[in-house]
């Protein structure tokens, strides 16, 4: 078709859209709807209430495809690697979520994500499902020696792409599915979104988390000024969808009182119980309307149509404890003194979050500026917003784990570190961010940040330094319990060779593969990288305690013994005496000595130690 005829078709379609907008879906004609609109008596193919889009099945397949990736540590980029339980994982989040499934199953208390909103300008990661995972990984995670994704892995999802909503839903669907399994039974997820996709996200989350686990659609006032140049409305809010893993098990903390709320408490009469605020003695419902006479002789009755809130005995107690307020002149309508110490620690959260308590976009940019990262990242969230989510859903006493797998500039890590400092908590964070390249014309690139992941890591380092310098001289760091570090891990191909059954078309190829797999480990694999891959495969956390002694890595004291360098009689004896639950070692260490391998296996069996040779 030449350009001219295409325009003719386009024009016709535009005309049709003006008179029959309802027959279009993602800019294409839905033929069933067109027939129905033209009066034909048709039966819709899928007559049931559900969310569907072009590519849903493929997205589901992406979720089910096993990963061949792993995570390798990068100590140089980390802070306090050996003693921290915070994590920064650099990699594409679908793969990372798959890699984390076994080790973090049911362990996460709170998830916050701020995915691309689908504004028509966003870069979306393309999960090329049909592609072989190996090639996919090469393209997505290890394009060059530095492990950078190129723009090839991303595409701009423009509004006229034809599958604008579908593309976004296909990206979100598998990722949400994989996060649900990570949540604890009393866990909660908060997702930021705006009007571009809030309707679809609500349906999608109903499908993944169950409609019964919907908690709230919070409206967050992201801006404090009005855009007077807006054509229709000044868009001043975002949505935050909140779902529980199992709503019945989910309990929120009360929201700490704001400065504003505390302002209404005073102590004009110097009452020994401290600050109070006057509240009515009547209630809208009840049964008692009899008058009551106080010890100063004033008689009070509830106003018409209302009832007494308290019985005679309580009224007497309050009166004698000087807990009734008769105004400055002692003659006004009596009210109860509600003391700050008696009311609940905080207030029940509401679904409207004003910028005064939850921050705003401008404040978020200033926070980055204060860290010396001016103009380096567009559209961060304010720490106050994420702190509030944490205050409501996590606890300062229980080492809760918080994950953000669209972490951008790592505001979530910043908020967790700040909150721990404020309330002495021990919350842990896991940030996941792919090494999305910064545009070469951007401030970030000019300042030396090649990827968004680099920005995130640098922000965490600067926040840690800020906390340290702020407190210098105030308390002893050696004794401080706050975890001021993070371990960096990067998504890479497995250290083990992948068995390619799809390539075996001939006997020769089968033999070739068998030969290649005589030692299943990749030649260049480093001991430490293999160790972490084995931890993940065994369902152990990346922050497990690791102690190296005499050729054996001891995981979480005595849970697993991992032997990766050499295996001899001596090592066998140490393992048997220490009695770990499991021994993991490499086939190559037995150097084709089958007799020794069989003997070791029998001895481990006798000692009740599970042995895995890889
Ligand atoms: C809106 S930003 C998050 C901003 C963040 N809340 C903050 O305050 O800085 C979304 C981030 O998700 C990242 N992202 C998008 N798709 C991703 C994927 N498939 N894997 C990992 N990161 C991804 C983008 O690079 C971007 O930095």
User: What are the tens digits of pLDDT across the range 467-517?
Assistant: 999 876 664 545 567 999 999 999 999 999 876 666 677 887 777 777 767
Share of the chain above pLDDT 90, in %: 69
User: What's the CA-to-centroid distance between 435 and ligand 1, angstroms?
Assistant: 10
Return the minimum-mean-pLDDT range out of 32-41, 177-186, 303-312: 32-41
Q: Is residue 530 very low, low, confident or very high in pLDDT (cuts 50, 70, 90)? A: very high
* Domain positions in the chain: 3-48, 63-217+368-492, 259-346, 501-613
User: What's the CA-to-centroid distance between 380 and ligand 1, angstroms?
Assistant: 10
pLDDT of residue 366: 96
* Residue from 69, 406, 435, 491 to probe ligand 1 pocket by mutation (most atoms less than 8 Å from CB): 406
Determine which residue's CA is closest to atom 26 belonging to ligand 1: 408
pLDDT of residue 145: 43
Q: For all residues of the chain together, what is the average pLDDT?
A: 89
Report the pocket of ligand 1 as residue ranges, CB < 6 Å: 92-93, 114, 116, 125, 377, 379-381, 406, 408-409, 411, 432-434, 436, 452
pLDDT of residue 5: 59
Contact 282, 306 (CB under 8 A): yes
Residue positions counted in the chain: 614
pLDDT of residue 521: 86
312, pLDDT greater than 50:
yes
Strands (E), 371-481: 401-404, 428-433
Contact 122, 156 (CB under 8 A): yes
pLDDT of residue 8: 77
Model-wide pTM > 0.95: no
Q: Is residue 169 very low, low, confident or very high in pLDDT (cuts 50, 70, 90)? A: very high
82, pLDDT greater than 50:
yes
Determine which residue's CA is closest to atom 13 belonging to ligand 1: 406
140, pLDDT greater than 60:
no
Buried b (16+ CB within 10 A) or exposed e, 590-613: beeeeebbeebeeebeebebebee
Contact 611, 580 (CB under 8 A): no
Q: Which position has the higher pLDDT, 391 or 30?
A: 391
Share of the chain above pLDDT 70, in %: 92
Strands (E), 483-581: 486-493, 546-549, 552-555, 560-563
From residue 252, alpha-carbon distances to 107, 215, 393, 425, 427 in Å are 18, 11, 5, 17, 16
Structure tokens at 129: 């499902």
* Cα(319)–Cα(293) distance, integer angstroms: 10
Q: Which CATH topology does 63-217+368-492 take? A: Rossmann fold (3.40.50)
User: What's the CA-to-centroid distance between 216 and ligand 1, angstroms?
Assistant: 23
User: What's the CA-to-centroid distance between 440 and ligand 1, angstroms?
Assistant: 18
| Count of alpha carbons within 13 angstroms of residue 253, beta-carbon side | 16
Return the minimum-mean-pLDDT range out of 35-49, 233-247, 254-268, 347-361: 35-49
pLDDT of residue 144: 44
Q: If you average pLDDT over residues 45-49, what whole number do you get? A: 79
pLDDT of residue 523: 81
Q: If you average pLDDT over residues 5-29, what whole number do you get? A: 80
User: What's the CA-to-centroid distance between 408 and ligand 1, angstroms?
Assistant: 4
Q: Is residue 611 very low, low, confident or very high in pLDDT (cuts 50, 70, 90)? A: very high
157, pLDDT greater than 90:
no
Helix (H) or strand (E) holding 199: helix 198-209
Q: Is residue 463 very low, low, confident or very high in pLDDT (cuts 50, 70, 90)? A: very high
User: What's the CA-to-centroid distance between 339 and ligand 1, angstroms?
Assistant: 45
Q: Which position has the higher pLDDT, 197 or 17?
A: 197
């Amino acid at each position: 078709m030449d350009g001219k005829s295409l325009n003719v078709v386009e024009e016709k379609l535009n005309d049709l859209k003006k008179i029959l907008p309802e027959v279009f879906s993602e800019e294409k004609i839905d033929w069933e709807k067109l027939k129905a609109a033209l009066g034909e008596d048709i039966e819709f193919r899928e007559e049931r209430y559900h969310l569907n889009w072009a590519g849903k099945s493929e997205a589901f397949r992406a979720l089910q495809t096993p990963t061949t990736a792993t995570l390798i540590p990068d100590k140089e980029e980390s802070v306090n690697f050996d003693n921290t339980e915070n994590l920064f994982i650099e990699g594409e989040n679908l793969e990372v979520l798959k890699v984390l499934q076994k080790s973090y199953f049911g362990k996460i208390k709170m998830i916050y994500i701020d995915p691309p909103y689908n504004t028509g300008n966003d870069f979306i990661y393309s999960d090329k499902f049909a592609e072989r995972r190996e090639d996919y990984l090469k393209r997505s995670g290890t394009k060059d020696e530095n492990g950078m994704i190129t723009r090839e892995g991303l595409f701009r999802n423009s509004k006229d792409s034809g599958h604008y909503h579908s593309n976004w839903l296909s990206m979100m669907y598998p990722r949400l599915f994989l996060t649900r399994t990570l949540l604890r039974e009393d866990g909660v997820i908060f997702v930021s979104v705006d009007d571009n996709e809030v309707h679809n996200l609500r349906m999608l989350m109903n499908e993944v988390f169950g409609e019964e686990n919907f908690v709230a659609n919070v409206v967050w006032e992201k801006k404090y000024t009005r855009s007077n140049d807006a054509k229709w409305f000044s868009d001043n809010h975002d949505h935050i969808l909140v779902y529980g893993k199992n709503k019945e098990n989910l309990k929120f903390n009360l929201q700490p009182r704001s400065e504003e709320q505390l302002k209404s408490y005073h102590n004009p009469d110097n009452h020994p119980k401290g600050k109070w605020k006057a509240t009515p003695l009547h209630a809208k419902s009840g049964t008692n309307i009899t008058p009551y006479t106080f010890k100063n002789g004033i008689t009070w009755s509830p106003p018409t149509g209302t009832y007494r809130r308290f019985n005679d005995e309580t009224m007497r107690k309050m009166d004698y404890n000087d807990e009734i307020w008769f105004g400055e002149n002692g003659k006004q309508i009596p009210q109860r003194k509600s003391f700050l110490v008696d009311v609940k620690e905080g207030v029940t959260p509401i679904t409207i979050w004003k910028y005064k308590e939850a921050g705003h976009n401008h404040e978020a940019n200033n926070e980055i500026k204060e860290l010396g990262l001016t103009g380096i990242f567009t559209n961060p969230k304010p720490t106050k917003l994420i702190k509030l989510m944490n205050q409501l859903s996590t606890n300062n006493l229980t080492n809760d784990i918080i994950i953000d797998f669209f972490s951008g500039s790592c505001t979530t890590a910043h908020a967790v570190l700040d909150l721990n400092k404020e309330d002495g908590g021990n919350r842990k964070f896991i940030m996941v961010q792919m090494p999305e390249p910064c545009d070469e014309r951007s401030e970030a690139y000019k300042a030396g940040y090649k990827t968004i992941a680099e920005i995130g890591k640098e922000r965490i380092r600067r926040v840690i330094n800020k906390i340290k310098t702020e407190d210098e001289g105030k308390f002893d760091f050696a004794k401080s319990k706050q975890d001021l570090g993070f371990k960096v891990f990067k998504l890479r191909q497995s250290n083990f060779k992948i068995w390619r059954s799809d390539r075996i078309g001939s006997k020769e190829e089968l033999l070739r593969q068998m030969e290649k797999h005589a030692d299943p480990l990749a030649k260049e694999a480093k001991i430490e990288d293999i160790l972490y891959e084995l931890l993940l495969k065994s369902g152990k956390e990346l922050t497990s305690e690791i102690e190296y002694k005499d050729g054996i890595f001891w995981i979480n004291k005595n849970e697993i013994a991992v032997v990766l360098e050499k295996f001899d009689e001596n090592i066998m004896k140490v393992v048997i005496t220490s009695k770990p639950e499991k021994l993991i070692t490499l086939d190559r260490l037995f150097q084709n000595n089958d007799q020794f391998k069989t003997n070791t296996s029998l001895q481990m069996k006798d000692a009740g130690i599970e042995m895995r040779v890889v």
